[in-house]
Amino acid sequence: MPAVLLIGQSGSGKSALIRALGDAAYAPRKLMAVEYRGPFINTPGEFLENRRFYPALVTTAAECDMILMLVSATHASCLIPPQFATMFNRVVLGVVTRADASRADVERARRFLRSAGVRNVLAADFESGRGVPELRAALG
């Protein structure tokens, strides 16, 4: 599996993705620091939530082969700026998380990701396992 950078606001499902793709023992540490876990580079939600940390995301992206931008289908808003994905010189894949939640709006989350400049978007729910095989296949 290639080195994969995870970007998403707090509560978007970055840690759940790591657990769903094979590291069931993973427990995130809330240190506001980049965390390396197998092929995953997990960035704190604060890196997306505060513009002053954007350079840290760009610099960290240089260490990876692919970027996953995550948006929860249960969030009513998204902090990823328009065309944000276009500043990375890497393949960017969008992941809509919590797709099976009772108050999920998958299409709204897809619109958020497309507005951010992401062309390929998958929907997944890590509790039910829906979309996990497709995500695993997309990662190679």
**Tokens 């350079």, residue?**
55
What is the average pLDDT across 53-60?
94
What is the average pLDDT across 44-67?
93
Look at residue 137 and tell me whether its pLDDT is greater than 80.
Answer: yes
Q: Per residue in 1-23, pLDDT tens?
A: 789 999 999 999 999 999 999 88
pLDDT of residue 128: 93
Split at pLDDT 50, 70, 90, the class of 111 is: very high
The Cα 111–Cα 23 span in angstroms is 30
Mean per-residue pLDDT over the chain, rounded: 93
Go through the domains of the chain in sequence order and give each one's CATH number: 4-139 (3.40.50.300)
